[in-house]
Amino acid sequence: MNKTLIITPNIDDSIHNGDIGTAFTSLSHMLVSAEHLIDILYVTPASEMDNKPIEYWGEIYKKNNINFIPLDLPNDINFISPHFRNISYLVYLWLKKNNNYQTIISCERQAQLYYSLLAKKHGLNFLNTSFVINTQGSTLWTNEGNYQLPSERDHIELYFMEQKVVEMADEVISSSQYLLNWMTNRKWKLPKKSQVILNCEPFLPEKPNVPENKLSKESYLQSKKDLQENNTKKVEIVFFGHLETAKGLDIFLKSLELLTLEQLEAISRITFLGKNVGIQGVDSVSYINDKIKHIQTQISENINPTQLKQFLLNEKKRSTTQRADKIKNSTGSKVLKLDLTKKINILNTYNRIQAYDYIQKKNVLVVIPSLVENSPYTIYECLLHKINFIAADVGGIPELIKQDQRENILFKTTPVELYKKLSYRLISLRVKSELVQDLNAIHQTWLKELNKPVTALPSLNMPTQTPKVSVCLTHYNRPKLLKQAITSLQNQTYENFEVILVDDGSRGKETHQYLDSIQPYFNKKGWKIIKSTNNYLGAARNLAARHAQGEYLLFMDDDNVAKPHEITTFVRAALNSKCDILTTPSEIFYSTQYPSDLEETTTYWLPMGGDLNTGSILNCFGDANAFIKKQVFDDLEGFTEDYGVGHEDWEFFAKAVSKGYHLEVVPESLFYYRVLSTGMFLSGDNSKNLFRSYRPFIDPDGKTSYVLGLVPALYDKIVYLENELNRCKPQSQYNEIYAIKRQLNNLFSQQKEGWANDRFNILNEKIDTLLSERKESVTIDSLNMLNEKIEALTSQQREGWANDRFNVLNEKIEALTSQQREGWANDRFNVLNEKIEALTSQQRANCAEEKFKALDSKLNSILETIEQNSKQNLLKKYLKK
């Protein structure tokens, strides 16, 4: 019996569904009926769906003989890489532990199989498993169809990863030829085994049997209304799909402006059946209601007033939902106004079953005017259940309908063409519409394909060839760490390699003693130690490569530690993939000790591979600890040798990929990456580093080479500004206190005679204490108290500071300080919270700036008063003399 795994980010939970979830749920039920063993690995992190625990859905699927498995997010693994890379890697780790499937099916969306397919391509795992990608539409396809620019970095990464998932699959099955053509037109390299098989029919669970007396009042009234309208010949128009532009909402609304009075009389209702989403800053319900007002105005302008009057009278006689409003125009005459609002019905809370029931009513015409579709289940269900519908002639929709029936159903996606088709179907509601293929034939095609035996690849415990590998090890002043790196090379399972150690100008006595001590061992092994002046990493690595004799180069830094199987795995992957450059995930640790596999948690940084789009804004290629064909390295003239600047690996990889060399990631972590405060990971001039990694994109023959340089620079600025914003938000009042303190210091420096230095110093120190001992942020109360005290200072300064006045001020600051030390009582905290919120709202309206300008003016007044008093005192002394 065949065992099949379906990996999906979406399942059909009978309430919420998308075409991916519906397609895989339906396929699962069909395969179970054919006695296949089916597991579903659900990869979207969630503890519940539809307000029910994830375990609940496991039980639901178990009743249908499907094993539902949510992907665990282990507590002992951490990532410092983007989300979709992390999920794909967790899928890979899960599959390694559960490697017992003949066939694994997934879609390209979100690239769950990216690292798993790399593992198979590199000969590392899954050699007896067939990977099938059932295409449902990539992120790039969706964004193009929705006229949507990539809104985040994840989109750029998914463009690359999803394409590679398709290209690395053993087989691609698409529900439409249209989607295969779309991929081919974008230069995707499809596998030889690529074909079209329609999705299986949607699986519908049994509907709950709800007695009529248990129906809600709203449902009862809706049912009664539907029954009354079903007894008439009027047609209900139903827009079916998410209430958004991509589903053709604007085209549909625009087409309604062309309706005539006769057509309005033939329409009982215009229903919008779909999920509420945001459009142009408002929810879609408000958007529709606003557009309806404009539509009824347009219809009224196109209608003869006499006809309109007669129409409204007829509607009134028939007790329809239309009514006539009499209003006066600017000339004082009375006009009749068409009101469509009561013909409009918006249903945005229906689940899948409710929506399915609704469109099966008598005298309903479903309209599906989508701008982009692959092989939508909305069309599938209309065809299967003989529902009256018209649809946009886009994507894979025509492939679902028998060719001789398309003319009466499909329309071009313009308001006029939609209106023409709508007009025709209002007269000829029922036309023949059938699914292009028999359901049983679809099932048999799927089963025939999935029952084919898998061609197993030969198992490779060790590479059949053993090319020589040169390990290029660079070192500077860290002999203890270097010893660990050399120990890890001595533990390698691969034998045919040499080590070229370049000491990049180390000065420490301990370093040279250690290098001298290992020289005899290196001589015995045929390894080399090369000492040079300090020229930085690029030059040191190039020097090692010039002395290398191997077919492949493996670069390594002295603070990294190789895993025992590193060279063996790299060689096997290189021979199977034919890649020019291979990188690997980094397993990060933060210790000067030798790393251990017994750590409580493992932290990974996952590179993605050779994507120049992502590589233009961040290093997605990998670490310098990379495996490179020596001929390729020489052809590229190695690393550039800028002294004191990082990103030499990022620059080299970008240059290699831009020149057409093939770079991939071996999905096994092959080395430990040590992070210390003394390492270059945490040092260097970031702006210089970014320029270095951008240099490969400067093409003298290109027209936009310098404009592209804005991408990493702007991205870096955005990250910086976001961090600054987050840092400043809780400290805004704190910064304001500092502004006051600076002005008080200025006041102190200009004070000549009035204040005694020792008294003022006491006050100054206590303000410092107040700042250092704040809990979350300095409060609005603190600002108000200081403001009041400065006002008192201003009023009292004209006559000089009395000692008792100073003591009162001093005591108040002591009280404020002690309150912060002991914590605020609950009522004080509530008052404080309200004042902080008031300050926040004032800042948004730029009111805070005006207050501080006023405060600044008061402080300036203080300075002027002090200066005047100083002059008066000097004059008095002079007169006394």
* Residue 97 to residues 117, 306, 396, 722, 810, Cα–Cα distance (Å): 15, 78, 38, 40, 69
Structure letter (DSSP) for residue 520: H
What's the rounded mean pLDDT across residues 420-447? 95
Query: Does residue 441 fall inside a structural domain?
Result: no
Query: Does residue 703 fall inside a structural domain?
Result: no
pLDDT for residue 572 is more than 50: yes
Query: Does residue 826 fall inside a structural domain?
Result: yes
Helix (H, G, I), strand (E, B) or coil at 478: coil
* Pair (275, 418) in one structural domain: yes
Helix (H, G, I), strand (E, B) or coil at 857: helix
CA 812: distance to chain centroid? 51
Min mean pLDDT across 453-457, 577-581, 606-610 is at 453-457
Domain limit, last residue, from 139, 171, 196 = 196
Domain limit, last residue, from 398, 427, 456 = 427
Min mean pLDDT across 184-193, 241-250, 760-769, 866-875 is at 866-875
Query: Does residue 442 fall inside a structural domain?
Result: no
* Pair (132, 247) in one structural domain: no
| Dist. CA 484–CA 672, nearest whole Å | 11
In the sheet that 581-583 helps form, which strands lie side by side, from edge to edge?
528-532, 497-504, 469-475, 552-557, 627-629, 581-583, 663-665
Domain with 744 in it = 729-880
Task: Look up residue 355 and give its two tokens.
Answer: 């929506």
| pLDDT on residue 679 | 54
Closest CA to 366 of 416, 404, 421: 421
* Pair (636, 769) in one structural domain: no
- Longest CA pairwise span in the chain (Å): 120
Please report, to the nearest 10 degrees, the dihedral formed by the alpha carbons of residues 303, 307, 312, 316 taken in order: -150
68 — phi, psi (to 5°)? -95, 120
| Dist. CA 560–CA 486, nearest whole Å | 10
* Pair (180, 316) in one structural domain: no
| 73-76 LR contacts (CB < 8 Å, sep 24+) | 73/45, 75/601, 76/600, 76/601, 76/602
Closest CA to 476 of 537, 562, 394: 537
pLDDT in tens, 292-313: 988 888 887 776 666 556 555 6
Closest CA to 191 of 156, 163, 158: 163
| pLDDT on residue 665 | 98
* Pair (164, 237) in one structural domain: no
Provide the CB-side half-sphere exposure for 27 (13 A, CA): 30
Min mean pLDDT across 19-33, 400-414, 569-583 is at 19-33
The secondary structure element, H or E, covering residue 41 is strand 37-42
Concatenated DSSP letters for 319-330? Answer: T-S--EEEEE-T
Band the pLDDT of 262: cuts 50, 70, 90. Answer: confident
286 — phi, psi (to 5°)? -65, -40
Structure letter (DSSP) for residue 276: B
212 — phi, psi (to 5°)? -60, -35
What's the rounded mean pLDDT across residues 846-863? 57
Contact of 68 with 61, CB cutoff 8 Å = yes
Which domain CATH number covers 320? 3.40.50.2000
pLDDT for residue 212 is more than 50: no
What's the chain's length in residues? 881
Concatenated DSSP letters for 104-152? Answer: EEE-STT-TTHHHHHHHHTTSS-TT-EEEEEE---HHHHHHHTT----S
Query: Does residue 205 fall inside a structural domain?
Result: no
Cβ neighbors of 297 (< 8 A, separation 6 or more) are none
* Pair (146, 266) in one structural domain: no
Q: How far apart are the first and last CA of the chain?
A: 117
Cβ neighbors of 438 (< 8 A, separation 6 or more) are none
Structure letter (DSSP) for residue 521: H
pLDDT for residue 338 is more than 70: no
Contact of 502 with 530, CB cutoff 8 Å = yes
Domain limit, last residue, from 644, 673, 697 = 697
Contact of 135 with 166, CB cutoff 8 Å = yes
Task: Look up residue 519 and give its two tokens.
Answer: 């020289």
Query: Does residue 413 fall inside a structural domain?
Result: yes
* Pair (405, 318) in one structural domain: yes
pLDDT in tens, 64-109: 999 999 998 888 899 999 999 999 999 999 999 999 999 999 999 9
pTM: 0.76
| pLDDT on residue 760 | 55
Contact of 243 with 275, CB cutoff 8 Å = yes
pLDDT for residue 671 is more than 70: yes
* Pair (502, 398) in one structural domain: no
Contact of 143 with 155, CB cutoff 8 Å = yes
β-bridge pairing 586-589 and 602-605: antiparallel
Please report, to the nearest 10 degrees, the dihedral formed by the alpha carbons of residues 120, 123, 125, 127 taken in order: 80
Closest CA to 263 of 414, 426, 409: 426
Closest CA to 70 of 2, 7, 134, 162: 7
Contact of 42 with 233, CB cutoff 8 Å = no
Contact of 547 with 650, CB cutoff 8 Å = no
pLDDT in tens, 752-764: 444 445 555 566 6
Query: Does residue 483 fall inside a structural domain?
Result: yes
* Pair (751, 793) in one structural domain: yes
Concatenated DSSP letters for 410-440? Answer: EE-SSHHHHHHHHHHHHHS------BSS-HH
* Pair (21, 136) in one structural domain: yes
| pLDDT on residue 324 | 41
pLDDT for residue 854 is more than 60: no
pLDDT in tens, 450-503: 998 887 776 555 566 799 999 999 999 999 999 999 999 999 999 999 999 999
* Pair (245, 366) in one structural domain: yes
| pLDDT on residue 486 | 97
- Backbone CA torsion sign across 624, 628, 630, 633: negative
| pLDDT on residue 645 | 83
Band the pLDDT of 36: cuts 50, 70, 90. Answer: very high
* Pair (542, 473) in one structural domain: yes
Closest CA to 780 of 847, 730, 733: 733
The domain total for the chain is 4
Query: Does residue 212 fall inside a structural domain?
Result: no
Helix (H, G, I), strand (E, B) or coil at 79: strand
What's the rounded mean pLDDT across residues 632-658? 91
pLDDT for residue 134 is more than 60: yes
| pLDDT on residue 330 | 38
Cβ neighbors of 521 (< 8 A, separation 6 or more) are 527
| Dist. CA 528–CA 546, nearest whole Å | 12
| Dist. CA 157–CA 83, nearest whole Å | 10
| Dist. CA 719–CA 726, nearest whole Å | 11
Which domain CATH number covers 539? 3.90.550.10
